Each structure stands twice: as C-alpha cells, then as structure tokens.
Amino acid sequence: MATHRTLPGLQRLDHVGFTVPDLRQARDFLVDVLGCEYLYSLGPFAHEDDWMRTHLNVAPDTVMRQLHFFRCGPAAVFEVFEYDAADQRSDPPRNSDVGGHHVALYVEDLDAAVDYLRTQPGVTVLGEPTSSRGPSEGQRWIYFLSPWGMQFELVSYPLGKAFDRAATGPAGPRSDR
C-alpha cells in the first residue's frame, strides 16, 4: 500500500527570492511604486572555497553584493539579491522559459491599479485586463514588467472565484493563497 508523503512540518510560504541587476532600482520600485516596506539588508558575501556553489548553486567566485528584504502587504516577503558573477545571464526569463515565473499581487480595484501603473516611469503594462473563465471566473488580471523586465501580475476577485463560490458561497479573497 502506497503512503502519501508530504514535506514534514510544512506550514506556509516564507518568502520569495529573486535577483535583480540593480538593487537600488529594485528598492525604489518595490517601495515607491508598489508600496512594499523595506526591512533590512545583508552583504556582501563571497567565499574563497566552494561554499557559494555548494550552498547557493552559483559559480564559486560569485559575489553576492547585497540583498534586501521587503514586506509587501501583510504577509508576502521578498528577498532581493544583486550578484556579481562572470557567468551571469542578464535577460529575465519569460513565462514560457524553463524557470520562468511571475509574482502575482492581489489588488482591490484592478482598474485603478492599472491606471496608476501606466503613469509610473519604467513600468510596462502588458495589454488590457483579462476576465478569467471556468474555475477562476470572477477574477480579472493583467501582467506588467518592472523597470528591469521582471514579470508581475495584478489579480482581483472581490466576489471570489467560481471554484470558491461553488464550494462555500460568495467569498472574498482567501488569505491562504
């Protein structure tokens, strides 16, 4: 008989880490545009031995110039790195690339948030808001790019999504997502 296994003790997502080309630019964007709270910074870090490869999966001679922590909303924490690495790739991955990703931010008023982002220097809003169908019906979303090209998404579903309503009746955004 097969036993279902999960990660012992898993409670929640703790933080999301990502690397940027310019930490000052990222800090300005996260704090001044998105409204995240700057928490603290660490670094630089470098090691003469193989520590960087063994622990961080980067070339041994890589230097982590600095990292900043930010809180965005009541629970999301971003750990944002700036590295010096001879083998560093500078093009952000697209969603279709292996390792592609985006950060989705919940907003109460999608249209107001989109209008605001369109006025921010260096921010590129991609297209117009899309209304989801199927299990996500009730949700509207749109992607945008940070000044360094990282993909973000705004989502809003003030009356819940169809799959939530089917299970529990009308509901707002859940805090466990």
Give the count of alpha carbons within 13 A of 149, CB side only.
11
CA dihedral 41, 38, 54, 94 (to 10 degrees): -140
3-state secondary structure string across 52-98:
HHHHHCCCCCCEEEEEEEEEECCCEEEEEEEEECCCCCCCCCCCCCC
Taken as a whole, the chain contains a residue count of 177
Name all domains of the chain by residue range, CATH numbers in brackets. 13-85 (3.10.180.10), 96-172 (3.10.180.10)
| DSSP category for residue 32 | I
What's the pLDDT score for residue 1?
Answer: 57
Q: Which helix (H) or strand (E) holds 152?
A: strand 151-156
- Give the 3-state secondary structure of residue 165: helix
Contact 63, 46 (CB under 8 A): yes
What's the pLDDT score for residue 107?
Answer: 97
Contact 30, 70 (CB under 8 A): yes
Dist CA 128 CA 144 (whole Å): 10
What's the pLDDT score for residue 175?
Answer: 45
**pLDDT per position in the chain (177 positions), as tens?**
567 789 999 999 999 999 999 999 999 999 999 999 999 999 999 999 999 999 999 999 999 999 999 999 999 999 999 999 999 999 999 989 999 999 999 999 999 999 999 999 999 999 999 999 999 998 999 999 999 999 999 999 998 888 877 765 444 554 444
Q: Kindly report the pTM of this predicted structure.
A: 0.86
